[in-house]
Chains A and B, each alone.
Chain A
Amino acid sequence: MDVSRPYSAVSPTLEGEVLVALSRTTHPLTGSEIAKLVRRGTRPGVQRALHRLVAHGVVNSQEAGRAILYVLNRDHLALPAVESLAGMRAEFLRRMREAIAGWAVQPVHVALFGSAARGDGDVEADIDVLIVRPEEIEEEDQMWRAQVGAFEDAVTRWTGNRVALSEISESEAERLRRDRSPIAKELERDAVVLAGAENDPLRCTR
């Protein structure tokens, strides 16, 4: 699955892109404005998708001077499905956070990073996850390994993608931060926190 556009797993055409873009606003937009908001596709392609969506009544159109404005029809029967598509990325994060919250041995920090965090990956992209392990827990601790393994399996079942796990201890996190390693800069910029108090995963040591 393309984690940056998960709705494309079930709605791979431009209609899905257009619906998700329109779902973010109640404000009527021109075709050209919508073309700028979608993450792929050409302006003529977006225009054709809009015509099809208007024909199905899920998008309303109205002339305003020389322009035609489009807005999502929030009374349409298909609206719950559109909202569900638009909420898939949030649902993915919710499931991951919920799974981690249930761990018997709590991590110091967990963050999504890389393309899945930035939202610029593709269907083949690994899902990069950083886990900071409490210092007192051995890397091979049985319970720890079991919960991390189960988490990896679950994420793969939810998405179809492989999890690229970077697991470090608190002291390793501290060292990476001190050395200003390239991954430290990437984490500071892009990380999406799944567990832990700090925004920056490498500043999480207790």
Chain B
Amino acid sequence: MRMRGGSIRTSPCDRRDAALRLAQAKKLLEQADVVAVERKNPAAADGAASLAILAGIAASDAGCCAALGRRSRSQNHLDATQLLVEIHPAGKDAANALRRLLSVKDKANYGIVSVSGADLDGVLRHAQALVAFAEAVMLR
């Protein structure tokens, strides 16, 4: 049996928190889809990507709360991937999806480099995958 822990900071949460974060994730993803319609406008593409990334982070929290009873409270969202891999099944896939989302995060948030159409498709797909993952965890 491997040792527990790692150094990431977590806070306790329960299924009620999970349901709330999942509802937020769905709403954010819905908004991301609406904004993404105007994807030819670079500002809209960045905005849609930012919303989808927030949706993915909220869905990750939901999955962690439902399965583990705790979520990351680190400023570094990448730390949440260490919790996601502990969730069965599909925790590793969820961690990968979050990692991919976060790789686009700064680009989208600061607008220094605009999110391309391909990036936006990927971001929306990964966010959808995380929402589906959280829904599946909630059903167990």
Contact = CB atoms under 8 A, between A and B. Distances in A.
Interface of A: 20, 23-28, 33, 36-37, 39, 60, 62, 64, 69, 71, 86-87, 89-90, 93, 118-119, 189, 199
Given A36-B69, A87-B140, A89-B139, A27 B23 contact: no
Interface string B47-87: 00000000000000000001111000000000000000011
A24 B87 contact: yes
Interface stretch (B11-19, B98-106, B108-116): B11-19
Given A24-B87, A90-B139, A189 B3 contact: no
From A24, A89, A118, residue with most partner B Cβ within 10 Å: A24
28 contacts: A23-B88, A23-B140, A24-B68, A24-B88, A25-B67, A25-B68, A26-B86, A26-B91, A27-B4, A27-B86, A28-B1, A28-B4, A33-B69, A36-B12, A36-B69, A37-B68, A39-B15, A64-B4, A69-B4, A71-B1, A86-B140, A87-B139, A90-B136, A90-B139, A93-B139, A119-B138, A189-B23, A199-B30
Interface residues of B, number: 25
Nearest to B30: A199
A36 B140 CA distance: 15
A62 B140 contact: no
Interface of B: 1-4, 12, 14-15, 19, 23, 26-27, 30, 66-69, 86-88, 91, 136-140
Contact of A64 (B3, B12, B87, B138): B3
Contacts of B69: 33, 36-37
Tell me what chain A mostly uses at the interface: helix, strand, loop, or mixed. Answer: mixed
Contacts of B15: 39, 119
Contacts of B140: 20, 23-24, 86-87, 89-90
Contacts of A119: 15, 19, 138
B50 to A, nearest CB: 20
Contacts of B26: 199
A20 B139 CA distance: 11
Contacts of A24: 66-68, 87-88, 137, 140
A25 B23 contact: no
A71 B2 CA distance: 10
Top-3 shortest CB links A-B: A27-B86, A24-B67, A90-B139
A70 B131 CA distance: 28
B10 to A, nearest CB: 11
Given A24-B87, A26-B86, A26-B88, A69 B1 contact: yes
From B1, B137, B138, B140, residue with most partner A Cβ within 10 Å: B140
